[in-house]
Amino acid sequence: MDGGALIASLVALALANRVLLETATKPMALSPLGNSAAPDPTASPHAAATAQTPSLFVSTNATPTLRDLAVHGVLSALVVCLTAIASWIVQQALAPLALLHSTAFLALPLAAAAAALTAFVTTRWRAPLRDAAWPLIAANAVAIAVLVPAAATPDLATALLRSFLAGAGFTLDLLALAALDARLQPREAPAAFHGLPLSLLNAGLLTLAAQGLAGFVG
């Protein structure tokens, strides 16, 4: 995959993560059967607040903060690197046996195992991280592993470097999109453009800027 397509894919992945995280962190009041529950007039405000769905992060804001997104991106990059190491080791172990030519189909179980290991280690070091969006982090590792097949590289150092750069690029895209949305969501814009439409325009601007910079550097 060329650099332009990789940049566009990472920006699209970052935008999808931001939309999913914002959707997941919005408070919802659901009944045990999954239907919308009517508010209880006799319930106290504290009980109504505790009945809401908890946030995926430490903060309880309706919108993830830059710190929340940075933590999500760093954890995703860490899982991506672990998945790349595992994929490279499996590829090298099975290559002499000629059992397979690619470990792409192993990305899902390897990413799930890497996410579970990272969650176990990091939550013992910092307990609030257990509320992170670990399934989404594992999905990010699968997507980046497919975009950047580190197992096809000849040595482990190159595979780890490529995966680290892809994970870092994803994290930077996530933070850049949040910063752009904070500055480029004008109130005077038509109501139909608020939210996701302007976020898509910001993602396009970010992709064009990154590809132009890459062409200038190259």
Residue 29 has pLDDT above 50, yes or no: no
Least confident of 40-49, 159-168, 180-189: 40-49
Q: Give the torsion sign (CA, 51, 55, 56, 57).
A: negative
pLDDT for res 93: 80
If you average pLDDT over every residue of the chain, what do you get?
75
Residue 18 has pLDDT above 90, yes or no: no
pLDDT for res 209: 72
As given in the structure block, the two tokens for residue 200 are 């898509």
pLDDT for res 48: 46
pLDDT for res 53: 39
Percent pLDDT > 70 in the chain is 67
pLDDT confidence tier of residue 52, bands split at 50, 70 and 90: very low
Residue 80 has pLDDT above 90, yes or no: yes
As given in the structure block, the two tokens for residue 103 are 């470990």
d(CA 128, CA 75): 13
pLDDT confidence tier of residue 128, bands split at 50, 70 and 90: confident
As given in the structure block, the two tokens for residue 5 are 């397509």
Model-wide pTM > 0.85: no
As given in the structure block, the two tokens for residue 115 are 């996410």
Nearest to 8 by CA among 146, 195, 217, 209: 209
d(CA 48, CA 109): 39
pLDDT for res 185: 62
Q: How far is CA 74 from the centre of its chain?
A: 9
pLDDT for res 99: 60
> What would the pLDDT profile of 148-168 be if each residue is shown by its tens digit?
887 667 788 888 999 999 999
The CB-based long-range contact list for 90-93 (8 Å cut-off, 24+ gap) reads 90/151, 91/151, 91/152
pLDDT confidence tier of residue 188, bands split at 50, 70 and 90: low
Helices (H), the chain: 3-25, 45-50, 66-94, 107-125, 134-147, 156-183, 196-217
What mean pLDDT do residues 66-87 have? Answer: 92
Q: Which residue has the tokens 């197992």?
A: 151
pLDDT confidence tier of residue 115, bands split at 50, 70 and 90: very high
